Structures are given as structure tokens and as C-alpha cells.
Amino acid sequence: MKCLSVLCISLIAISLMLAGISDAKIDKKSIMGMWLFNEGKGETAKDSLKNGTDGKLIDGPNWVKGKFSGALELDGSDDYVKIESPNIPRGDDPRSIAGWIMDMGTGGTWGGIIHYGNNDCTGLMFGMGKQNGLTFWGGCKDFQTGMVIPKDKWSFVAVTYDQKNITMWLNGKPSPNSMTNFDTTDSHLFIGAETINNGVGFRSRFTGLIDEIAIFDVALTKNDLNTIMKNGLEVATGFRSVSTTGKLTTIWGQIKKWNGSSTLPQY
């Protein structure tokens, strides 16, 4: 009887463990571009979709350790990443942009994280305002949240648009605002700087680390963003599976030590 009880408890514990790590995957078809910055060297930031939209490192961003594997360090002076012919949401299409950043600037300046379009109400800019507030601007539609990006810490940032509202996200917390009728146009895509003329000149450069940037053609939900924040883009989008081998080994070891008391191992 005791052996049967241990077997039942083992199955229950393993089932609970698997349920705890099996977050719903985000549809790969919704991804328009995904740059993980895991190369560690060279002058190319590869798009995980392998559709010819790799980024070129301009003026020497440094490869460093990131939130998930590698990342890029930008000096806020002259370096950035340029994607020549990106696949990006246009017009008033739904969209989401998400990524990890670590602000290492001195403050008091705007810091561009993602930018595309032009300075004629057809652009989209996502970054930091002067007081380190998470900010959206471009398309003649500006929105500065009251959410302050902490310095020298990793922060998960995102913007989602569903053709009715634009919502800014900082570490899983939303700041929504009613906004409609975007008219963003084709252009190069820039990571780490804002340009008002498709790369001829720049302003609003970001100082710090950037990791795991992705663009989607849908407005991601809170659950979607939490999955990305928890597991990283590779796992959340199904590009890399979660290995359960180590966790199963740990749980099985604890179960074998269980002596039949009423207190189950905690996972």
C-alpha cells in the first residue's frame, strides 16, 4: 500500500511540475522579426526568422552578457543597429514590440530603443523620455507614461496596439491609452537610436544594454508578455524547447526521500 501511495504521489508531483513549466506558446506566424543578440562577435545581429532581415552593427556596439545569453551594449554616442529592409507593421495594422533593456545613461535625455518610419507623422518611436519614463512617440501621436525605467537593472519593456488602444508595459505592468489611426510607413528599422530621415541623421540615442527585441503583427496579451518575460523569446515562441530533465531528476530524488509523512515536497 505504501508503494502504491508513493507511486501516486510521484505521478501527481511530476504532473504539477510539468504544468508549471508548460506556458502557452506564442504563434510563430505573428512574429515579424526577432533579434536575440546571441552571436557574441561580428557585425551582424541575426534575425531568428532567417528571412533576410539581419541587422548590421554600426559604429561598434559591444557584445556583452545579456538577460538571456548575449546582448548589445550601446554607448549613447554613435552606435546602433540597422535593419535595411525589415518586415514591419504598416499603416494602422495591429502590432507589438517587446524587449529587454538596461538603462546606463546619465539621465535628462531621450533614449530611442526602436524606431522606424519618418518624421512626417508616419513614424513610430519607442523608448525613454527625459525623466526615464517609458515613452511612445511618432505618427504625430505621443504618449509618455508615468512608469520610470530603473537604472542599471534589466527591465522588460513592450508596446502593444490593437487599433483602439496603445498600451505600454514595464516589467509586466500596463499603462494603456486610447489611440487610433496610425499611418506608419516603410523604412529601415533602427535599434538604439531615433532618426528623423531614415538614417541620414540621428537623435535620441539609447545608452545601456539591449537584449531580445521582437516585433509582432498582433497586439500581444498580458499572458503573452508574461510568458516572454518569464521564459525569454526563444522558449516563448517555440524556437527552443524547455528541458525538463534536470527538474525531473530533482523531483524524483526528493520523492525517494519522502518518508510517507503528510507533508509533500514543494516545487
Please indicate, yes or no, whether residues 15 and 59 belong to a single structural domain of this protein: no
Task: Please write the tens of the pLDDT for every residue from 224-248.
Answer: 999 999 999 999 999 876 554 344 4
Which carries the bigger pLDDT value, residue 152 or residue 258? 152
Which carries the bigger pLDDT value, residue 232 or residue 194? 232
Q: What is the 3-state secondary structure of the chain?
A: CHHHHHHHHHHHHHHHHHHHHCCCCCCHHHEEEEECCCCCCCCEECECCCCCCCEEEECCCEEEECCCCEEEEEECCCCEEEECCCCCCCECCCEEEEEEEEECCCCCCCEEEEEECCCCCCCEEEEECCCCEEEEECCCCCEEEEEECCECCEEEEEEEECCCEEEEEECCEEEEEECCCCCECCCCEEECCEECCCCCCEECCCEEEEEEEEEECCCCCHHHHHHHHHHCHHHHCCCCCCCCHHHHHHHHHHHHHCCCCCCCCCC
Q: Is residue 147 part of a domain?
A: yes
Please indicate, yes or no, whether residues 14 and 129 belong to a single structural domain of this protein: no
> Tell me, what's the pLDDT at 199?
80
Please indicate, yes or no, whether residues 249 and 218 belong to a single structural domain of this protein: no
Please indicate, yes or no, whether residues 48 and 102 belong to a single structural domain of this protein: yes
Q: Is residue 37 part of a domain?
A: yes
Domain count, the chain: 2
Q: Is residue 208 part of a domain?
A: yes
Please state at what angle helix 2-21 crosses helix 245-257, rounded to 10 degrees: 150
**In this model, does residue 137 exceed pLDDT 90?**
no
Please indicate, yes or no, whether residues 253 and 130 belong to a single structural domain of this protein: no
Q: Is residue 266 part of a domain?
A: no
Please indicate, yes or no, whether residues 37 and 169 belong to a single structural domain of this protein: yes
**In this model, does residue 2 exceed pLDDT 70?**
no
Mean pLDDT over residues 252-258, rounded? 48
Q: What is the pTM of this model?
A: 0.82
Q: Is residue 264 part of a domain?
A: no
Domain ranges, residue 65: 28-236
Q: Which amino acid is at 32?
A: M
Pull the grid cell for residue 79.
Answer: 552606435
**Dihedrals phi, psi of 266, to nearest 5 degrees:** -100, 140
- The CATH number of the domain holding residue 188 is 2.60.120.200
Q: Is residue 267 part of a domain?
A: no
Mean pLDDT over residues 140-148, rounded? 87
**In this model, does residue 7 exceed pLDDT 60?**
no
Please indicate, yes or no, whether residues 217 and 250 belong to a single structural domain of this protein: no
Please indicate, yes or no, whether residues 152 and 247 belong to a single structural domain of this protein: no
Task: Please write the tens of the pLDDT for every residue from 44-103.
Answer: 999 999 888 999 999 999 999 999 999 999 999 999 999 998 998 999 999 999 999 999
Please indicate, yes or no, whether residues 196 and 225 belong to a single structural domain of this protein: yes
Please indicate, yes or no, whether residues 168 and 187 belong to a single structural domain of this protein: yes
Please indicate, yes or no, whether residues 12 and 37 belong to a single structural domain of this protein: no
Task: Please write the tens of the pLDDT for every residue from 161-177.
Answer: 999 999 999 999 999 99
Please indicate, yes or no, whether residues 174 and 249 belong to a single structural domain of this protein: no
- Closest among 50, 117, 100, 47 to 206, alpha carbons compared: 100
